[in-house]
Amino acid sequence: MVEETVISEEEAAQYDRQIRLWGLEAQKRLRASQVLLVGMKGLGAEVAKNLILAGVKGLTMLDHQELTLEDTRAQFLIPKGPLDRNRAEASQERAQNLNPMVDVKVDTDNIESKEEGFFTQFDAVCLTCCSRDVMVKINQICHKHNIKFFAGDVFGYHGFMFADLVEHEFVEEKTKVAKASQGVEDGPEGKKAKLDANETTMVKKTVTFCQLKEALEVDWSSDKSKASLKRTPADYFLLQVLMKFRTDKGRDPHPDSYGEDSELLLQIRNDVMDTLGVSPDLIPEGFADYCFSEMAPVCAVVGGVLSQEVVKALSHRDPPHNNFFFFDGLQGTGIVDCLGTK
């Protein structure tokens, strides 16, 4: 889908720092890429901002929901005004103003109404605010058509992202250290000779990804999985609980129904962990207190990582995260973990 792209002088000036960072060819690939971003809440705004500033060819923001008061707390692309507006439409003007060179479009359809062919016009699809079933379905479509797939969400202090790049080729810059010149062994001249002899080389690599369904349906009764259980982030299991909540209630935990939602989260935790065949204690007690609303700083961190992975995937530069990234805002820690691969 990506065609040869020519970078104009104006674009070269606009993206000078990025071209110096990851090279002209990588920027050309970005400038030829179309991205679909679903869900324009706080996390979606962060991802949109970063991709537009990075210089993709086009970004389509898809969201069928109207604004809520809660949306305005973490969604900085929406100007002040009435709430009876579509989230994506309300975000378009500020998003476009970030970089006039990017074609920013809006789609107000429900993602669930889109046919398979709709997704084939994009080089990458990034989902937020979607149910588990929708994420799995669209991931299968993207995997089939070799479209780079990403998903992410923020629940209070916790956030995650997932990537399926199918079979992804990329180049990584490696330092090639030459030996110091003969006859120069010790002293400052020896160090200088080694430094001057350093070179870099581009190494091509390939990595294979699994689909989200496989990553979420790990058989924890197998010996291999049991051995890795202690190293598996608790947020992986918390994600399963929150996805089940979203499926059952058709929404995320909300501060207005804190008491009811907290009790339901505890019940779902026990049910989900029992189904997975692992101890509920893997998710700490009191977890429900920290799963409400989108925290703007968490959106910034997760959105930064998520958009960075989209840029890396489209530009084919540097090793991608395979396949989950979890962020715990309480601890201030982020973990990359690979789950579901054979």
- Identify the DSSP state of 294: B
Say how far apart CA 95 and CA 105 lie, in whole Å: 10
Dmax (CA) for the chain in angstroms is 77
pLDDT band at 36 (very low <50, low <70, confident <90, very high): very high
* Nearest-angstrom CA–CA distance, 337 and 153: 16
**Helix (H) or strand (E) run with residue 127 in it:** strand 124-127
Q: Is the peptide bond before 323 cis (omega within 30 degrees of 0)?
A: yes
Check whether 22 has a pLDDT greater than 70.
Answer: yes
Per-residue confidence (pLDDT) for residue 187, from 0 to 100? 57
In the chain, what percentage of residues exceed pLDDT 70? Answer: 92
Q: CA-CA distance, 180 to 192, in Å (whole number)?
A: 9
Q: What are phi and psi of 273, to 5 degrees?
A: -65, -35
Token pair for residue 34? 């179309």
pLDDT category, 195, cuts 50, 70, 90? very low
What strands, in cross-sheet order, belong to the sheet with 34-38? 103-107, 58-62, 34-38, 124-127, 148-155, 158-164, 324-328, 333-337
Q: What would the pLDDT profile of 252-278 be if each residue is shown by its tens digit? A: 999 999 999 999 999 999 999 999 999
The strand pairing partners of 151, in sequence order, are 127, 162
Rounded to an integer, what distance in angstroms lies between the CA atom of residue 157 and that of residue 163?
Answer: 21
Question: Is the pLDDT assigned to residue 188 strictly greater than 60?
Answer: no
Spatial distance between the Cα atoms of 117 and 202, rounded to a whole number of angstroms: 36
Which among 148, 144, 165, 158 has a CA at the least distance from the CA of 233? 158
pLDDT of 232 over the 70 cut: yes
Average pLDDT over residues 21-49: 92
- The pLDDT of 63-69, averaged and rounded, is 93
Look up residue 299 and give its DSSP letter: H
C-alpha 281/C-alpha 274 separation (Å) is 11
Q: For the residues of 151-168, what is the DSSP string, one character each?
A: EEEEEBTEEEEEEE-SEE
End-to-end Cα spacing for the chain: 29
Q: What's the pTM value of the predicted model, to 2 decimals?
A: 0.89
Stronger pLDDT, 202 or 307, i.e. the higher one: 307
Could you give the 3-state DSSP secondary structure of residue 200? Answer: strand
